[in-house]
Structure 1
């Protein structure tokens, strides 16, 4: 029977990597996901990025065991002839199988319940403080508590987005809309679009949107070549404006983080009102409208404009702690150019991530994301299990001579600032030519 099988080579598989012609291989069996791409719950970006490859490790990372039963209808009848499984991948798959056998993916703990309790308490205190107190100090504290509320809400939205907090997919979807759109004003559709791309192409300069912050930040001098973002479909121009801003990025890093939330609001609106295909667009817009009803109304209840500005800035400043954490996990990690490859899945995740070491008492503050490598390797694993598996992941990295970076919050900040400073100093080198921007060309071409 073995001789009756039809085979294709890895090179032949690579040819099927275009929209309308997307093939992938999982455990040596080749599947046609061209039509399925539009229905894929994780979005079509992931499939476009990994099309034409053997993607077993990525499939294991993102899908429960129940997903395997849906593959047969996509089977092309071909098997992959010449692929090899690395020793790292073999160990990773054994690890995933063991965690599944132990039931770790189903043991969700009480983290979500505690977060919901914190959010509910903070919301009541904020509203009560704004409406019932005339004290400026109380209003300042309320603004800070609102920032903490947004942080916890983002963690709930993140966990629900990875289907970690509830067994039902529909319940997770509802939790995402409530915690993301309604509570924080950031569309879960936008988050899924960018976050899934980030996970699959961790620290790829041209594929990972979480590193593409030109003209404000550049974590690598490779951005100085005006590379093209595959995710956004446009050139990331390193023009004189970008050179100036990046030259001082190690000084502007924290101030930008404070107002970074404004960019998230803008990105949300740009996506939801774009012409592209946005899953559950109407529901996402309704959720955003809920936020932009209660939040301005709450701010308007403050007695003066100075207190309103103070309240908003206080909430943004506290939330900046979370934005900083997100960048600490990756800005000083290893980067690369080009598409992600599933053949070195474990290696790429280890190279591009950085853990934050902290005591168990601070787990609530980091939302489980201090175990960034563990989360990237097993994104469906509930946050309460990440500390449990960390020693096993560390041992596997040591076995295969792969980096396992775990720094304190202070050390991670210093590492990130050093990365930004290194690129900033090189950006100041005037001997490095900068492409002329459109304004310069217009002035010099047309007078």
Structure 2
């Protein structure tokens, strides 16, 4: 319904302000598509697997332009290796972001199968990452588009034909809709508005892990629960705002029970807290505002360390 409203508003109105508003609403459409893709990737939200796959391709590939196959591959790895600097792709954002000084040693990514080089350009960008964080998140969707194309063109993916067709649908309807706007100024404004609103979701995806404990090495079964609990942060919010966070506000519960529908995460939260208390495990949570503060503080700390690396060594220490 929201998608239909956005299309109707963009085509029926001649107001620049209205086009700006509906461009922003398109960003909210993509955010909700992301939550639906996340849910349908973890468990069946439809009557059977084939219909569930159709829902995934419609919400991910067709409406949002992001390969559901790429998301599954990326997100499953993240669940297995939460906050492993070598294995978790959700922490491997060089050259723009670094959350640990261990990245300064040019860690080899086991997910991307290449060395993440901490070169001069990376050092420069990381030195200002606490200033560029939100700006980069406004354009983070471009990276998701690129990752989708790279995966479907280079890797064997289940239902590859359907996925490629879904992406083609997106790259037909969205440019066509934008081209219907009266001038280039409003077209650029519409695109920037739709991309910028999704900054909410991209920020949400980083708040749960950027400021928490990280480690080097592969995940192991004997300390899996401890690593999971140390690497996650819940977002404290009222039940009324659960739709806004899409289940990520209960990151701990979701990682412990990834196939549990998000509508039940709040119900099991008290039991998870008791479990953590019983076994002496951390159960960290913060408000949305505080989590943003913690994330920026982490980025700032790494930025200052990266900046110090550019300073010349004093002669008396050579």
Q: TM-score range by the shorter chain?
A: over 0.9
**Structure-1 separation of matches of 2:3 and 2:58:** 14
Q: What does the per-residue CA deviation read over 1:218-269, in whole Å, with 9 as the maximum and x for residues that have no partner?
A: 0000000001001111000000100000000000000000000001001111
Write out aligned runs for 1:91-240 (5 A): 121-240=1-120
Q: Partner of 2:77: helix, strand, or coil?
A: helix
**Change beyond 3 A, Cα 1:164–1:348:** farther
Per the TM alignment, residue 169 of structure 1 is displaced from its structure 2 partner at its CA by: 2.0
Write out aligned runs for 1:285-324 (5 A): 285-324=164-203
Aligned residues: 312
**Structure-2 separation of matches of 1:297 and 1:339:** 45
Larger relative contact order (CA 8 Å, sep ≥ 6): 2
**Structure-2 separation of matches of 1:124 and 1:173:** 22
RMSD: 1.2
Indicate the residue corresponding to 2:213 in structure 1: 334
Question: Is residue 164–residue 381 contact of structure 1 (8 Å, CA) maintained in 2?
Answer: no
Higher gyration radius (CA) = 1
* Unmatched tracts of structure 2, length 5 or more: 313-318
Question: Is residue 163–residue 169 contact of structure 1 (8 Å, CA) maintained in 2?
Answer: no
**Structure-2 separation of matches of 1:165 and 1:206:** 32
Q: What does the per-residue CA deviation read over 1:69-126, in whole Å, with 9 as the maximum and x for residues that have no partner?
A: xxxxxxxxxxxxxxxxxxxxxxxxxxxxxxxxxxxxxxxxxxxxxxxxxxxx211211
**Structure-2 separation of matches of 1:405 and 1:323:** 21
Select between 227-236 and 423-432 the one with higher mean Cα deviation: 423-432
Indicate the residue corresponding to 1:356 in structure 2: 235
Indicate the residue corresponding to 1:400 in structure 2: 279
Structure (1 or 2) with the greater helix fraction: 2
Q: What does the per-residue CA deviation read over 1:147-202, in whole Å, with 9 as the maximum and x for residues that have no partner?
A: 00000011001100001423522222111111100110000011011110011000
Indicate the residue corresponding to 1:381 in structure 2: 260
Give the one of 276, 282, 289 matched to 1:410.
289
Indicate the residue corresponding to 1:263 in structure 2: 143
Per the TM alignment, residue 379 of structure 1 is displaced from its structure 2 partner at its CA by: 0.6
**Structure-2 separation of matches of 1:176 and 1:153:** 9
